[in-house]
């Protein structure tokens, strides 16, 4: 059974402007560390959710500005490092591995607890910059001026 997106988890959106992302965009070799594998695993897991269009590897290649074969290598490494679950022969997609499940649970807790995050943390965890509160949040206590 595939994990469902929780209320605080949204489309990955553009890559946050972090040191690893800057290195990726510069080209050349990149250290494949847990930060990169987490991003790769989340995007692959998200892009292969039911209802998402096909072509996860192609979209990730566009996101990272890297060839599709590099993305396949990174996804494979994410599986080996337990960010993603095992593959099913002939099918795109993956279960979240133990490391990604732990990360997703942490992100959901942060969202539910309304923990303040820096703009960079928000981009990294939710794939989008912090925006204005949803209607009804952080508004006055309901007292009128008149």
The whole-number average pLDDT for the span 92-118 is 78
Structure tokens, 121: 């943390």
What is the pTM assigned to this prediction?
Answer: 0.66
**CA dist list (Å): 120 to 2, 116, 117, 124:** 28, 12, 8, 6
CATH number at residue 56: 1.10.10
Strand partners, 13: none
Q: Confirm whether 8 is domain-assigned.
A: no
Tens of pLDDT along 29-42? 788 889 889 989 98
Structure tokens, 46: 């998200």
d(CA 92, CA 55): 9
How many structural domains are present in the chain?
Answer: 1
Domain assignment of residue 50, given as a range: 19-126
Q: Confirm whether 29 is domain-assigned.
A: yes
Tokens 């794939």 belong to 127
pLDDT at 136 over 50: no
CA atoms in the 13 A half-sphere facing the CB of 139: 8
Q: Confirm whether 139 is domain-assigned.
A: no
Q: Confirm whether 145 is domain-assigned.
A: no
């Amino acid at each position: 059974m595939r994990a469902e997106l929780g209320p605080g988890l949204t489309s990955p959106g553009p890559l946050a402007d972090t040191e690893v992302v800057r290195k990726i965009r510069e080209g050349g070799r990149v250290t494949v560390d847990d930060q990169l594998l987490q991003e790769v695993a989340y995007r692959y897991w998200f892009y292969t959710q039911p209802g998402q269009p096909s072509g996860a590897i192609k979209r990730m290649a566009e996101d990272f500005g890297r060839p599709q074969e590099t993305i396949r290598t990174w996804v494979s490494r994410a599986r080996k490092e337990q960010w993603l679950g095992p593959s099913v022969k002939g099918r795109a997609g993956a279960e979240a591995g133990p490391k990604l499940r732990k990360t997703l649970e942490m992100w959901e807790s942060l969202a539910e607890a309304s923990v303040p995050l820096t703009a960079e943390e928000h981009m990294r965890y939710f794939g989008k910059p912090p925006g204005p509160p949803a209607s009804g949040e952080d508004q006055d206590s309901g007292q009128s001026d008149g």
